[in-house]
Every structure is written in C-alpha cells, then in structure tokens.
Amino acid sequence: MNDELNDLLEKHGLKKTGPRVKVLSVLKLRDTAASQPELEEIIGKEIDRVTLYRVLTAFEEKGIIHKVLDMNGTAKYAVCDSSCTDKQHKDEHVHFNCTLCLNVYCMDTLHIPQLVIPAGFTSQVVNMMVYGICDKCNLKLKG
C-alpha cells in the first residue's frame, strides 16, 4: 500500500512527505469524502491544521483528489479516478450528500447528464449533487 501511495505522489511530481503520505492513505481507505476538520479529527495533532489545507490543495491541483462542497458549504475531498491529471479532472460523476450523517459519496457510476446552456454563457465544469438519505442511514431508519 505504501508503495502505491509513493508512486501516486511521484507520478504527480509531489515530494513524499509524512503528512502527504498520511493524508493520502486516510483518503484512500474511505468510501466518503473527507473535510479538513474531519481529517484533523481522524489524524490528530500530528499534522498541523494549515498543513492539512495545503496538502489537500496540492493534491487537488495535481489531480489526485477532487473537491466537493457539502450542504453546509464545507469543502470535502475524495480520491480521484486514476485517469485524473492536473490538466483535467474526470470527476464528472454525481455526488450524494446524506442529510442525516452528512457524508458525501462519489456516485462513480452515475455520470452527469449533458446540458445545453443558453447562448452567451460558457460552461467549464458541471456539478451535480443529490441530497437525501444514504443506504446506511436508511438501514438504521428501517431496520
């Protein structure tokens, strides 16, 4: 696993530092996107708050992770599909934000429908977020 992380960092031209390897390993293991405050809680004070923000920003710029805003406007990050680069993010999938547990899921299989936008406007990126109850919370409610 550590080799994989090192390769990923190297491939994107990032130095292999403690904080970067740690953050990347945490994100890789999750099935939901994580915010800086969440990572801070998971990792603890071994990594500085500001470093977390900078690591996340660096990863995003290099196309290792992508950013999604949750329903509160908090930035959450998830590991990108391996085809992402610093030139182009291929995160054009739908995201799901659970209104109970607040988790954000990448719906990798759901890709965003094409839109015809009005003349005069130019589209760069399209974002689609479904708010609702996730599978785990639904189980808790019904079960």
Partner DNA sequence: TTATTTATGCAACAAAGTTGCATTTAATTA
Partner DNA sequence: TAATTAAATGCAACTTTGTTGCATAAATAA
The site for DNA (CB under 7 A) is made up of 14-20, 35-37, 46-51, 53-55, 57-58, 73-75
Query: Which CB sits closer to a second copy, 59 or 96?
Result: 96
DSSP state for residue 34 in the 8-state scheme: E
Cα(18)–Cα(35) distance, rounded to whole angstroms? Answer: 19
Could you say whether residue 102 binds a second copy (CB under 8 A)?
A: no
Binding piece for a second copy, criterion CB under 8 A, among 26-34, 43-51, 83-91, 112-120? 112-120
Q: How far is the CB of 30 from DNA (least distance, A)?
A: 16
* Alpha carbon separation from 86 to 13, 60, 62, 81, 90 (Å, rounded): 10, 8, 4, 12, 10
Residue 123 binds which entry of DNA, a second copy, none, CB below 5-8 Å type-dependent: a second copy
* AA letter at 70: D
Q: How far is the CB of 135 from a second copy (least distance, A)?
A: 3
Residue 37 binds which entry of DNA, a second copy, none, CB below 5-8 Å type-dependent: DNA
Query: Which CB sits closer to a second copy, 79 or 97?
Result: 97
78 CB-contact burial (10 Å; exposed 0-12 / middle 13-18 / buried 19+): buried
Q: What tokens does 52 get?
A: 């977390």
DSSP state for residue 113 in the 8-state scheme: P
Q: What count of other Cβ atoms lies within 10 Å of the Cβ of residue 62? A: 18
Could you say whether residue 115 binds a second copy (CB under 8 A)?
A: yes
Q: Which residues here bind a second copy, judged by CB under 8 A? A: 69, 71-75, 94, 96, 99, 107, 109-110, 112-113, 115-135, 138-139
